[in-house]
Amino acid sequence: MINILDNFKKIEQEIKIYKPDVLVFCIDFDGTLTKICKSPFDAILENNYKKIVERVRNIENVFFCIVTGRELSDIINIVSIDSNIIYSGNHGFEIKSFYKKVRLNFIYKDLKNYLTVLKEIFKKVSEIQIENLIIENKKYSISLHYRILPHKDIKPLKDAVAFIMDSNADYKRMFELKKGKKIIEIRPKIQWNKGKACDFILKELLAQLSWVSTYNSNKGSTRQLNIDGNNSNNNNGDNFNTDNNSSNNNNGDNFSTDNNSSNNNNGDNVSTGNNVNAESKNGIKNILKICVGDDLTDETMFGRNKYSFELNPNSELNLNLELNPNYGSNSHLKLNSNSNLKKINIKSINCVVGKKKSAADYYIHNFRQTYEIIENIANTFVNL
C-alpha cells in the first residue's frame, strides 16, 4: 500500500491532467477527522482543524461531506457548521445538506417501521450488567462501546448481545450485528451503507447542479433547474425516502466503467475555470471524489476508482433516482437542447487511516494527516 503524502507529487500531477470541474470530499469523522476517544461523547473537532474544514468548504465548486456512523443530530452538534457542508449520519440512513444549491434532507424509507422493535432491543441491552459498557441509542441503530472494558468482559458482552438477538425471531429478521473498532452495532437489516450514501449524494449533486435544464419522471412532472444551480423546489424540512430494493439494483445507473477516463483528457482543451455553469469546451465534465476513512464501515466508500456517464445530444441520463420519490421512479435528467455535454467522468481517490488491508489505494498514518490531504488536494484544485 502506498502512502498518499509521500507520493503526493504524482497525485497532484494526475489531478492537473484530469482537471476536475467539481471536487467532492466524503470523509469519516471518528478516527479520521478526530482522534478515537475512550467515550464517543468525548469527541470534538479541534478549532485548528475546524478552521481547515471551514476554509475548504467555502471554495467554489468544492462539496464537503462528513460521512459517519453517528446519529445525524449528534454529528451536526459536534461539528457545529451549518452552511456549505453535507452530513451523512447513521451510516447513510440520514443525510442533510447545508448547501443552498443542493437541497437534501433525507431519511431512508421505512426506518420508522423498525423503531418499535429497536426500542425493545435497546431496553434489553441496557440491562446487560457489565461495568463501563457505553450504550448509545442512535434512534435508527444502537452502538455498544467496549473500548474501556477489561479484556475478560468482552466475550461475555458479545455472548449477551448474541443471546438477545437470537431470542426473538423479529430481532433476527429485522436487524444485524456489525463490528467496528471496539464497538458492536445493531442496525436494520437493509442493504445501505456509507458507500451507497456517498453515491446517492453524488447523484443528487448531478441532479441539482445546473448542467441540465429539466428533470423528467414517469409521473410526467418536470422540474426546472435555475442557472445558478438552485433547485426551484424548496425541499428544506422534507424527509426524502428511498426504496428498500433500489440499493440492490444498479442496473438503472447507466454507469460505464472507464479505466482510461483519467487519461482521456491529455491534451484536450478542458475548462480550467472550475465553473459548473460553463460546460467544458470538449463536452466533458470531470468530478473528483476524495474518500477517507479508518475502519471496516468505511471500506464501502472505497469503490470504483474511475467510471463515467456516456451521453448523447438531447439524451436523458438515467441515474436510478427512483431512490427519491419526490422525483418519481425511473427518473432521468434531461440535458439542455443546446447542450454539448457528452460525458461525465468520475474519478475517486480512496485513502484509509492506518496501514492495513483495505480496498483503498492509499493510506495515511493518523487523523492529523487527513487534514494535510484535504488542504493539499483543495489547493491543487484551486490552482488549476
Residue 317 pLDDT: 55
What's the rounded Cα separation, in Å, for the pair 125 and 352? 32
Residue 16 pLDDT: 96
Cβ 101 vs Cβ 230: under 8 Å: yes
pTM: 0.79
What's the rounded Cα separation, in Å, for the pair 174 and 171? 5
Please name which of 379, 294, 263, 284 lies closest in space to residue 67, comparing C-alpha atoms. 294
Q: Assess if CATH 3.30.70.1020 describes domain 112-188.
A: yes
Domain boundaries, the chain: 2-107+192-382, 112-188
CATH superfamily of 2-107+192-382: HAD superfamily/HAD-like (3.40.50.1000)
350 phi and psi angles, rounded to 5 deg: -110, 135
Cβ 240 vs Cβ 106: under 8 Å: yes
Walk along the chain (384 residues) and give the pLDDT tens digit of each residue: 899 999 999 999 999 999 999 999 999 999 999 999 999 999 999 999 999 999 999 999 999 999 999 999 999 999 999 999 999 999 999 999 999 989 999 999 889 999 999 999 999 999 999 999 999 999 999 999 999 999 999 999 999 999 999 999 999 999 999 988 899 999 999 999 999 999 999 988 887 875 544 333 333 322 222 223 333 333 333 333 433 333 333 333 333 333 333 333 333 322 334 444 444 557 788 999 999 999 888 999 997 788 777 665 555 555 543 344 333 322 345 555 556 677 788 999 999 999 999 999 999 999 999 999 999 999 999 999
Q: What is the 3-state secondary structure (H, E, C) of 278-306?
A: CCCCCCEEEEEEEEEECCHHHHHHCCCCE
